[in-house]
Amino acid sequence: MFRKIHFFLLSVIFLGCTPQKEPVSIDLNELTITGIHDAYRGGQYTSEQLVAAYLERIEQENDELNALTVINPNAIQIAKTLDKEFEESGVLRPLHGIPMIVKDNFNTKGMATTAGALALKDFIPEEDAFMVDQLVKAGAIILAKSNMAEWAFSPMHSESSTFGTTRNPYNLDHVPAGSSGGTAAAIANNIGVIGLGTDTGNSIRGPSSHNSLVGFRSTLGLTSRSGIVPLYLRNDVAGPMMRTVEDATRVLEVIAGYDPKDPLTKYSEGKIPDNYQQFLQNDGLNGARIGILRELSEKDPNPEIKTLFEQAVQDLQSLGAEVVDPVAIPDFAEVRQNQWCGMFREDLEGYLATYVKNDTIRTLEDVVRIGTKSEFARTRIEYFLTASGRSSNPEIECLDPYTDERRIAFREAIEKRMDELRLDAIVYPSWNHPPALIDSFQVQYRGDNSQIIAPHTGQPAFTVPMGFTSGNLPAGLQFLGRMYAEPTLIQLTYAYEQGTQHRVPPSGN
């Protein structure tokens, strides 16, 4: 009831107290950045009218999904300002007037940023996270914040103490995965255009796969994480969750680059092309060499996922790729071990000191004292009260992917094999199993391949829609590349997407 009243009051504020452009009928189904900009230029509708249409759709759709947490009360006014700018200049910024859904762990000026936790339920940042600021400067409009797994703990489901549980729009009985499930559910259901998520081990690619979306986990160091509530900063990446490779590429083009508040981005200098859109090539798979990592794809796969994956391999070939099947990584079982480091306490307390600046919320013990409504989150918080560093070989320091000896060894094993076989990418299913039922997500959590390589090696990994299993449940195909090989992955994933057209919105859209 609160949520319905909340959205109704906001609608009154947006639509009743401020003079509006005459309403127009806008088909929000599968809108793209290019299509919206064409409509702006052609006078079909304005940014103000588009934002108003999305706000109406939120009021109609969000109660069932529980994907969104708070709406930006300034969205209409920002849209009006952008419309006036375009009217006067005739120039559209790269993301001019594009509505954006932001995960609830990104700092957003003047809007609550809770990370799904009671400890932050009243925290309102003084400024946007660096990535959000870049997108806003490019013309994107924050439409709303999205629900998430509390503190980004869960790759399985998206349950928070602040806003409850998010459902999968393709089948409401199933999870959207975690922790960026709110963003995934909203973008999949056409409640926004740009979606932002974070990925510590799975949380961009997993929800994207479960919601028939494109998810880019870029090279660690290519984009900033400052102003984002961390899980493990040594693994965290933030980035786009979109309906198309082209739109995700347009967002990546804006967010890639150096941030003085995130030292890891120093490694990206000199490694970013003038633009990424040049790699959107329909024939991008022609002559490419793609390796099939059977060590992941054959690990207890669901039969339907296995069928989809085998069809994907055939599709890659029919689209011009040379498939190397299988690809064996020497010592893979050994080098992948002992990669995780429990750094939540250190990273969270650093964030609290830098951004929250509240004497009553300074430590993990304060978070425990304030409490949680989520039993899953409670077990994780209690774990981190004592857990730190590696579970074994604690003498090996936990560092970033450029200096950590275990991470370097893992990446070198993979990239050396890619070099030997002249591979452009390695592919495997993003999940070996369909989305779990919400009521039994822990029992049915199986086949999460996203956790295994990219978070540790620092390599980029993109997921794209691969089709559907029974129950109308989406599946995703993941492409792993070398460090800073985003141009190659864009080329490959775009060609696969265009050649297969697996993306379908939820029924009723």
Catalytically active residues are 103, 179, 203
3-state DSSP call for residue 63?
A: helix
Distance CA 504, CA 80 (A): 32
The answer to whether the beta carbons of residues 320 and 282 sit under 8 Å apart is no
Burial environment of residue 200 by CB neighbours within 10 A (0 to 12, 13 to 18, 19 or more)? buried
Cross-strand partners of 176: none
Distance CA 305, CA 488 (A): 25
3-state DSSP call for residue 451?
A: helix
Pick the closest to residue 362 from 344, 371, 350 (CA basis). Answer: 350
Q: Residue 488: enclosing H or E segment and its boundaries? A: helix 486-500
Residues 6 or more apart whose CB falls under 8 angstroms from that of 386 comprise none
Distance CA 358, CA 344 (A): 19
Residues 6 or more apart whose CB falls under 8 angstroms from that of 83 comprise 46, 47, 48, 97
Distance CA 501, CA 169 (A): 19
C-alpha 273 chain-centroid distance: 22
Residue 151: C-alpha distances to residues 134, 208, 290, 322, 374 (Å):
24, 19, 36, 42, 11
Burial environment of residue 470 by CB neighbours within 10 A (0 to 12, 13 to 18, 19 or more)? exposed
Cross-strand partners of 228: 106
Between 47-65 and 2-16, two packed helices, what is the crossing angle to 10 degrees? 170
179 prior amide bond cis, ω within 30: yes
